[in-house]
Amino acid sequence: MNVRQTTVWRALNTALHDAMREDERVFVMGEDITKWGTGGGIYGVTRKLVDEFGEERVRATPISEEAIVAAGVGAAMLGLRPVVELMYSDFTLLAMDGIVNQAAKAHYMFGGQFSVPMVLRTNGGAGIGKAGQHSQSLETLFAHIPGLEVVLPTTADDAYGLLRASIKTENPTIFLEHKALYTTKGPVTGEILPLGVPAVRRTGTDVTVVGTQQGVLRSLAAAERLSDAGVSAEVVDLRGLYPLDLDPVFDSVRRTRRLAVVHEACGPYGFGGEIVSRVVEACWSELDEAPVRVTAARSPIPYSEVLENAVVPQVDDVVRAVLALVGDRHAVSGA
Amino acid sequence: MSDFTFLAGPGVKALYDMNLIRRFEQRLGRYSEEGLIRGSTHPAVGMEAVAVGVSMALEPQDSIASNHRGHGHCLARGADPARLLMEIFGRAGGYSRGKGGSMHVGIRELGILGTNGIVGAGIGLATGAALAHRLRGTDGVAVAYFGDGAINQGVFHESLNLASIWKLPLVLVCENNRYAQSAALSDMVVDDRLERRAAPFGVPATTVDGMDVEAVHDAARTATSRARKGLGPELIVAETYRFLGHMVGDTEIYRDEAEVEQWLKRDPLTELSERLIAAMVLSRSQVRDIDTDAVNAVDAAERLAGLEPFPEAAEAVENVYEVTR
């Protein structure tokens, strides 16, 4: 396998090219996806698609989130495979009827007659100063809705493999990219990855740190520092919230006997609560300590960098939380 | 003025379909009292000519998206009254296997993308269906049925614009029955000539007498043939009235009895019957026979639906997700 380094945005772009070449039913639509910047949306993900596939299958839309998503649902019910892009996940809130009342329920409410194999691509997350209405982490909102799949790619390989898989599933999928990770690089194998399988990003023995996207990367950075202090952290990337096979997390916690969950959304009612709950149900007798959550404050995302960093969990926050979890027997210089 | 070709041809079938819808819908109140129906049920008595007139202009490959008042749209499109009633009764043999009820009847083989609990949602879904017809290169069209209430939802405006810039094969059928639940149209819009809402989007629109099935049919034929030719969407505003309340149990304090009486004089079934008799296409007794046939069909549906078992409780959590093949 020829494994090359590529950015997340380009991996996504390649995935769209490959999916559209392979399956005529795949088409993309969204705001500014053909003529912005270098010709492919604000983060380049749809770059040059229109050159290869034309304006019928690569459709630049007016700013009409509700209609775009609803049209995606209707087209999917007739057997097409729309990949709908909304520029920021915050804009999905204008399209919630199509997502929650129509897409998520059409298969169920009509007794299995229809499928909605639509992918709604958008990006969430903070970190680049986009402030309150362009930086939210809304994954838990979607994960709570029966009928939706929620995918959260971290690496370039995930970006390619999980987007291909999301386009192939029969269910409506909310594919939430992270806006701060588009230009990060990694190897891409070109394999289509199964949905719902967490990846162990770093092995360790003292604590299991579970997260998604930026939470994973910050946990990995924290794990480096913890390692200097003699704490061995295992980092597990969920890669999505539904479907989700938590067995790798349970297996890990049974070995490390401690759990921390890291996420960028605010803590109360966030997915950390669900992960902790499931782990406690499955591994109660094997836990040495009560699990902890490292999450954003219950606050909108502020603009100024110092404020944004204060709200969203940073590497230091993960280090501190893990040290508290493993107890006094470890001391970290500079933490 | 009636066209003999219409009366002698589709007119007779139209009369049967309208009677079928009328007889079907008239029983919902009793079914509700008898505890056979749960939740909300919205009869379309008085509005039969719209569903039937539009459906007669459709081809098998076409799609429709309906709303909460959708039994008539389904029956006019050829739904089996027994399976429709089974769904409304929550039975296993219902079109949606008892999971949807009156407001979520989907019929894939008839291109029915569901009745809908969100009044304007079908407009967006039909826009997508029209896009699918276009991308597949078929000459299929998509029809959205919605009321005068839905015209104030954003999805109407967004979809009309989207369908217009893309010239999608979409026919928007606004059934203007003058009330959005209890809200009179005149209280909720400044200009009640709803067809004017299409012009800013470059979409042609026509207002028709929704009590005249032939007029509806003509308008629908014009709109669907334009759409099939790739000329884009059209809005049809059908002026109609619901003879019953918004839903079973409506106290109807928001409208005068005198107004209802006036509209009852415009009963679309009576109008079509009288025309068929005047044109000597049918005798008065043949008109009665057609109604009897409709009553018999609903009787048969009622019998079958009453005997149909409820779904197994275990089915409640099936079909939430589809297993990817």
Question: Cβ distance A188 to A155 under 8 Å?
Answer: no
Question: Cβ distance B7 to B58 under 8 Å?
Answer: no
Mean pLDDT of chain A: 96
CB of B312 within 8 Å of any CB in chain A? no
For A:43-82, CB contacts with B below 8 A are 56-57, 59, 61-62, 64, 66-80, 82
Give the phi and the psi of residue A213 in degrees, each rounded to 5: 50, -120
Question: Cβ distance A96 to A120 under 8 Å?
Answer: no
Q: How far is CA B283 from the centre of its chain?
A: 28
- pLDDT tens profile A65-101: 999 999 999 999 999 999 999 999 999 999 999 999 9
Percent of chain A with pLDDT over 70: 97
Virtual CA dihedral for A45, A46, A52, A57, nearest 10 degrees? 140
Binary contact (B132, A79; C-beta < 8 A)? yes
pLDDT the model gives residue A334: 44
Pick from A109, A146, A149: which is nearest to B96 by CB?
A: A109
Q: pTM for the full model?
A: 0.96
- The SS3 of residue B123 is helix
In order, the DSSP letters of A264-312 are: EEESTTSHHHHHHHHHHHHHGGG-SS--EEEEE-SSPPPSSHHHHHHHS
Binary contact (B322, A147; C-beta < 8 A)? no
Nearest CA in chain A to B156: A67
In 3D space, the residue among A195, A138, A189, A139 whose CA is nearest the CA of residue A166 turns out to be A195
Residues of A labelled catalytic: 65, 134
The pLDDT profile of chain A, 335 residues, written as one tens digit per residue, is 567 799 999 999 999 999 999 999 999 999 999 999 888 889 999 999 999 999 999 999 999 999 999 999 999 999 999 999 999 999 999 999 999 999 999 999 999 999 999 999 999 999 999 999 999 999 999 999 999 999 999 999 999 999 999 999 999 999 999 999 999 999 999 999 999 999 999 999 999 999 999 999 999 999 999 999 999 999 999 999 999 999 999 999 999 999 999 999 999 999 999 999 999 999 999 999 999 999 999 999 999 999 999 999 999 999 999 999 998 555 544 44
Nearest CA in chain B to A62: B162
Q: Which residues of A touch B63 (CB under 8 A)?
A: 74, 78
Which region, left, alpha or beta, applies to residue A172 given φ > 0 means left and ψ of -120 to 50 means alpha? beta
Q: Which residues of A touch B117 (CB under 8 A)?
A: 101
Strand ranges for chain B from DSSP E = 63-65, 142-147, 170-176, 179-180, 183-184, 205-209, 234-239
Pick from B107, B128, B324: which is nearest to A73 by CB?
A: B128
Question: Cβ distance B87 to B105 under 8 Å?
Answer: yes
Across B66-95, average pLDDT: 98
Strands of A259-266's sheet, edge to edge? Answer: A199-202, A233-237, A207-211, A259-266, A292-296
- pLDDT surpasses 90 at B316: yes
If pLDDT is split at 50, 70 and 90, which confidence band does B324 have?
low
- pLDDT surpasses 90 at B323: no
ipTM above 0.85?
yes
| Helices B48-55 & B12-26 angle (0-180, nearest 10) | 140
Q: The tokens of A217 are what?
A: 């990367």
> A113 vs chain B: nearest CA distance in angstroms?
6
For A:167-196, CB contacts with B below 8 A are 168-171
Q: The tokens of A234 are what?
A: 């295992």
Across B271-290, average pLDDT: 97
pLDDT the model gives residue A329: 54
Q: Which residues of A touch B158 (CB under 8 A)?
A: 62, 64, 66-67
pLDDT the model gives residue B258: 95
Binary contact (A97, B118; C-beta < 8 A)? yes
pLDDT the model gives residue A38: 86
Binary contact (A61, B162; C-beta < 8 A)? yes
